[in-house]
Every structure is written in C-alpha cells, then in structure tokens.
Amino acid sequence: MTSPQAEGKQRADGATLACVYALAMTCIPAMLVVKGLPMALTPGMAIGLFMGLVWFCAQLVTTLGVAKGRNAARTALYLFACSQLATYGYATYGYLPADELAAADRTLITLMAVFAVGIAVCDGVRGLARLDRLLKAMVIGATFMAGVGILQFTLAVDLTQFLVLPGLRPVGEMSYVLERSNFRRPAGTAGHPIEFGVVCAMTVPIALHYALRAKDFGGPDKRWWFCLGVLAVASMQSLSRSAVLGLAIAAIFIIPAMAPKRRVRALFGIVLFVGAMRVLVPGLVGTLYSLFTSIGVDPSAESRRRAIDRAGAEITEHLLLGRGMGTYLPEKYGWLDNQYLGTLVQNGVVGMVLLIFLYLAGWYCAFRARMATKDPRIRDLGVTLAACIAVPGISSATFDLLGFAVATGFTFLLVGAAGSLWRTVQEEVAARPTVETRAEVAA
C-alpha cells in the first residue's frame, strides 16, 4: 500500500486518466460535443479513446507498471467488445439505411471508448490508494452533477447554461428538465432525468463507504457525509423508478454486510431520511410511492409492455447477433426502455448473454476480493463495488442504459474498478509468502 508521502509524489498513471474521465463525464453537460468533427464526439468519449490508446501502448512494454494477464472483469469486457464488433460486421455486411448506418458507426465508437475505459482501469489502476483516488473522483463528480440537479428541482436554476466550454458545441437542448406530478424532474448535467437518478444511486454506496471509513479509521469527515446526502436527495428528486430501485438493491447488498449495531443505525437512518424528505418536499415521497402502486395504469409502464410486442419480430429475425447495435432507432421503430430487451434486439442472444456476464464478472471480482482478504477496508470496498454494479444491473431492465453516456461510462468504470480491486488483492496474497520467508530468514 502506498504511504501518504509516496502518494503525494505519485506521477500521472491510469488512475489519473480515469479521474479526468469521471469528472469530464459528470461536470461537462452531456449535450456538449467537440466542435469541428464530422461526428458527435463528447469530451468523455475522446478521453476514453485516448485511454484505450495509452493502454494498448502500455501493453507493448513491461516498464510502465500496467498489469497484464487474465482477470474476470478484463475477460468480460473483451468478450462484450468482440460481440459488438461481430454485430457491427453482421449489420453492415448488407444494406442499411443512412440514418441507421450513421447510428451504428456512432454507437460502435461510443462503446469502444467505454470498453477502453473499463480495461484501462482494470489494468492501469494499481493498488488500493490509486483505486481510492478514482472512486473519490467519481463521488465528487457525481455530487457536482447532483448539485446542479437539486438547483434545477428546487429553484429552477439551470447551471448547465453556464458550462459551455470553449471548443464545444451543443447537439440538442442543453437543459433536459421534465415534469411529473407537478414536480420538475432534473437531469443535472446528464442527458435525461432517469440517467441522472441512476448515476446518483450508483455512487451513493461509494460515498457511504468513504464516510464510514473516515469515521472508523481517521475520525469524522463531513465531506463524504455531505456528498452522501446530496446524492441521496438527488436520487429521490429525479422522480425515477429506476433510481429508487437502484437505491433499494444497493441497500440489500450493503446493509446485511454491516455489523449488527451499524445495521440498526443504517435502517433507522433510512427511515429518518425518508421522513425528512416527506417533510421538506411535500408530496415527493407520495409521488414516488404512486409510481409503483399505479404501475398497472402508468403510461410509461404500458409503453414498456408494448415494447415487448414491438421487439418480438426483430428478435426472431436476428436471433444470434441481432440487427446491429444502434440500428434500432426509437424515433423510427418505437421506444423499448429496457436495455436487456434492446440488447437482445440489436445484439442478439450472444450480446445479451455477454452483457449479463459483464455484470456477473464485476460481482465476481468484488466478492472474490472481499473473501480473499482480512483487511476491513478492502472487504467493505468489495461489497460496496458489488452494490454499485447491482444498480445498473437492475436498472438495465427499466431503461435503455447503454443509450446514455454518463450511466454507461460509470458502469464500465465500476466493472474495471472491481477488476482492479481483485488484482490488488491477488498481488497482496502473492507477495505474502515472500514477506514471511524474509521474516524467517531474518530471524
């Protein structure tokens, strides 16, 4: 583990690039792209592609400290990338309308960028200290995005209008604030309120982890409690079923892993938080509750049910490899609002199986790291990453996650982080006999 002095002198590495990527994805509005390019390339995509180039060059040498060798997360990322290339080749082998071909090209580049991010994090973020640095950057970036959303919800103040950086241009409406039950649905710097809520829910477990770690190992640190509160409030204010489900599934992972006394305090804290939200924002909790109780007559839920019928013919026609990622245009064929169903349509059975395998590989790495060490920090971080990955895992059934850049980018960051944590534990275990042998020799 790196000492504070050594970390202070740490040169730029894979964690540095990943931190820049996480902050770019959350602090720059999703509707901004680089000027002067023939296709819509966001700053985050550009950084992701650069990370892929750096990773490839680093794999050609042995002096840059980049990990090599097999890893479950690395394998899952590689296989899913191969499935996307196979689907793209299958789809473009024949005729495609110009709009679908352009969408397929754009989607392929976008997905290759996030694959590169995931693999670069898995192999290039070495050690617990550097992984902490990345995860903290994710929390800070998501907290900024959540703060922008809270201002949109409470005061109708939209800071995204002031975040247009030189060299960037908008490709659509800068502000994506909808309404539901007389409430504003904020999107923060994300592309949609659902994505906003899911990303906030995805980072709540990380903020909780560092808040509790600071309390256990270094005394209270109000910064992480502040981040936790902002992210939790923003998740509720997104008025999204996906965000609420994400918070619930994360709690199912984290609370049973706590010590009994802390578990009771956590449950009490949840009740207190819901009660505070009910008092401070009258009608919000009731609206969220009605999203589930009235799901049988909710128009969005009915649209999702009709999507199954729309997708049926496409699935039978292109069963194995699908019709091509990005070629199913919602404006043209109708919305699916289900990533698993959308992957089945566009990538076939092969793509859907590998998408599920991607989530399972992230969980595998996180739980293997937890079980292979006695270090309480790593054990807690293992279950935290598993909880974070569970959020997009469950949300993929309620909205088309891979169609949104921030949610997709954070998902692949988390899978890569789980692979990095498992590598860290493996290296620690492999080094342990050497340390013991040296101790015996010295004695």
- The pLDDT assigned to 214 comes to 80
Question: 35-68: string of b/e by CB count within 10 Å (b at 16+)?
Answer: eeeeebbbbbbbbbbbbbebbeebeeeeeeebbe
Q: Is 27 helix (H, G, I), strand (E, B) or coil?
A: helix
Question: Residue range 112-123: average pLDDT?
Answer: 95
3 has a pLDDT exceeding 50: no
- The pLDDT assigned to 124 comes to 93
- The pLDDT assigned to 420 comes to 96
Burial class (CB in 10 A: 0-12, 13-18, 19+), 70: exposed
Question: Residue range 81-92: average pLDDT?
Answer: 92
Question: Residue range 357-372: average pLDDT?
Answer: 96
285 has a pLDDT exceeding 90: no
- The pLDDT assigned to 433 comes to 64
- The pLDDT assigned to 314 comes to 78
Name the phi and psi angles at 385, rounded to 5: -65, -35
- The pLDDT assigned to 282 comes to 86
- The pLDDT assigned to 215 comes to 73
- Apex 405 CA angle, 401 and 408, nearest 5: 50
* CA pair distance 124, 66, nearest whole angstrom: 5
State the pLDDT confidence band at 249, using cuts at 50, 70 and 90. Answer: very high
Helix ranges, 238-338 (H):
241-254, 260-280, 284-293, 299-317, 330-333
Amino acid at residue number 105 = D
State the pLDDT confidence band at 162, using cuts at 50, 70 and 90. Answer: confident
Name the phi and psi angles at 33, rounded to 5: -130, 165
pLDDT, mean over the chain: 87
State the pLDDT confidence band at 297, using cuts at 50, 70 and 90. Answer: low
Of 22 and 96, the structure prediction assigns the larger pLDDT to 22
Question: Residue range 283-292: average pLDDT?
Answer: 84
Amino acid at residue number 427 = E
Q: Is 33 helix (H, G, I), strand (E, B) or coil?
A: strand
- The pLDDT assigned to 218 comes to 65
Domain spans in the chain, listed from the N-terminal domain onward: 11-428
- The pLDDT assigned to 296 comes to 64
Amino acid at residue number 56 = F
121 has a pLDDT exceeding 80: yes
- The pLDDT assigned to 65 comes to 83
For 389-422, the DSSP string reads HHHHHHHTTTS-GGGSHHHHHHHHHHHHHHHHHH
* CA pair distance 278, 350, nearest whole angstrom: 45
- The pLDDT assigned to 83 comes to 94
Helix ranges, 294-338 (H):
299-317, 330-333
441 has a pLDDT exceeding 70: no
Q: Is 184 helix (H, G, I), strand (E, B) or coil?
A: strand
6 has a pLDDT exceeding 50: no
- Return the bridge partners of 183, or none: 180
Amino acid at residue number 178 = L
The region of weakest confidence among 102-116, 170-184, 307-321, 348-362 is: 170-184
What torsion, rounded to 10 degrees, do the Cα atoms 388, 392, 394, 399 define? 150
State the pLDDT confidence band at 2, using cuts at 50, 70 and 90. Answer: very low
Question: Residue range 228-254: average pLDDT?
Answer: 94
- The pLDDT assigned to 4 comes to 41
8 has a pLDDT exceeding 70: no
Question: Residue range 104-125: average pLDDT?
Answer: 94
Q: Is 251 helix (H, G, I), strand (E, B) or coil?
A: helix
pLDDT digits (tens, 9 = 90+) for 37-79: 878 889 999 999 999 999 999 999 888 888 888 899 999 999 9
List the structure tokens of 332: 């043209």
Other CB atoms closer than 10 Å to residue 309's CB: what's the count? 9
324 has a pLDDT exceeding 90: no
Classify the C-alpha dihedral 408-410-413-417 as positive or negative: negative
* CA pair distance 7, 130, nearest whole angstrom: 8
* CA pair distance 207, 229, nearest whole angstrom: 9
- The pLDDT assigned to 200 comes to 96
- The pLDDT assigned to 301 comes to 64
State the pLDDT confidence band at 302, using cuts at 50, 70 and 90. Answer: low
